[in-house]
Amino acid sequence: MTPAECRTMAEVRAEIDRVDAAIVALLVERAGYIDRACELKPALGLPARIDGRVEEVVAKVRARAMAEGLDPVLAEALWRRLIDWSIAREEAVIGRD
């Protein structure tokens, strides 16, 4: 159901709950890739934080947000928090460099 098709607040809330569940599932999937990076980075001599990669991810997210009509400032703030969490997760496993 699209937002315009919602006729009641119950429908709106149900759709928000559906979207939230999908976002959580995608975050779980993303965390799995972070865990895999924890396994691969030590053998490659890579640290948890790679500043160039952080900025690359943020730039891609900002561009995608703009293309999709989402506030790029909001998208960047959310992703920087997500990236910080991901790096902390990696540092807990592989350490800091």
Q: What is the CA radius of gyration of the chain?
A: 17
Q: How far is CA 34 from the centre of its chain?
A: 11
Q: Which residues of the chain, if any, have pLDDT below 70?
A: 97
- Number of domains forming the structure of the chain: 1
The domain containing residue 15 runs over which residues?
A: 3-94
pLDDT tens digit string along 27-54? 999 999 999 999 999 999 999 999 999 9
CATH number, position 85: 1.20.59.10
How high is the pLDDT of residue 96?
72
Question: Which one-letter DSSP state was computed for residue 24?
Answer: H
